[in-house]
Structure 1
Amino acid sequence: MNVLEEWTALVCRELGVDPARVDRDALLDLTKDVAHGVARPAAPLTAYILGLAQGAGTAPPDAAERVAGLARDWERATTETMGDA
């Protein structure tokens, strides 16, 4: 077991989360897209917001993928928004 797996298992145990419910690769991909496409500090904030939405039952099944898409399109979206002003 590597450090990331050990840490995930420890945090899941501490917080009472079933580790099988953690899609580590999807979350890491999401935070990578946000960090590189939007801003580094937005990555952990986005992961937290996604967790809140999932915990509240309001996140769609493809939420991580949808938010990652927003991050990948961030520059284009902000350019279009600023062009509309």
Structure 2
Amino acid sequence: MTESRTLPPEALNEWSAALAERFGLAEGDVPISLILDLARDVANGVARPAAPLSAFVAGLVAGRAGGTPADTEAAVAAVVELAKRWHAG
């Protein structure tokens, strides 16, 4: 029998906290809901495999812009906007 890879919400919080600790991030630096919403919108608007790629690109763009929470929100919003228009032409 294989182990399930689906995480309950509290495990996702634990994983996020572990990432934050490992990389010296502040508590608010990992906006779980924002990133999950991005992944959902990209998966539905483009394709499922595009979701992790898009999350990476949003993080890269936010980091290059300065890495503030506002930079993250702006980068995510831009990716989501593009995903929502993707099949509209």
Indicate the TM-score class for this superposition, using the shorter chain for normalisation.
0.7 to 0.9
Instruction: With the length of structure 2 as denominator, give the TM-score of the two structures.
Output: 0.75
Q: Which one has a bigger Cα radius of gyration?
A: 1
Q: Displaced runs of 4+ in structure 1, greater than 6 A?
A: none
State the shift of 1:23 in Å.
1.7
Matches of 1:27 and 1:45 in 2, distance apart? 12
Which of residues 79, 82, 87 in structure 2 aligns to 1:67? 79
Q: How many residues align?
A: 77
Which of residues 29, 35, 44 in structure 1 aligns to 2:37? 29
Instruction: With the length of structure 1 as denominator, give the TM-score of the two structures.
Output: 0.78
State the shift of 1:5 in Å.
0.4
CA-atom RMSD in angstroms? 1.9
Deviations 1:19-39 (Å, cap 9, x if unpaired)?
212221111111111011101
Matches of 1:66 and 1:53 in 2, distance apart? 10
Q: Any unmatched runs of 5+ in structure 1?
A: 78-85
Identity %: 39
> What letter is aligned with 2:50?
A
Which of residues 7, 10, 14 in structure 2 aligns to 1:6? 14
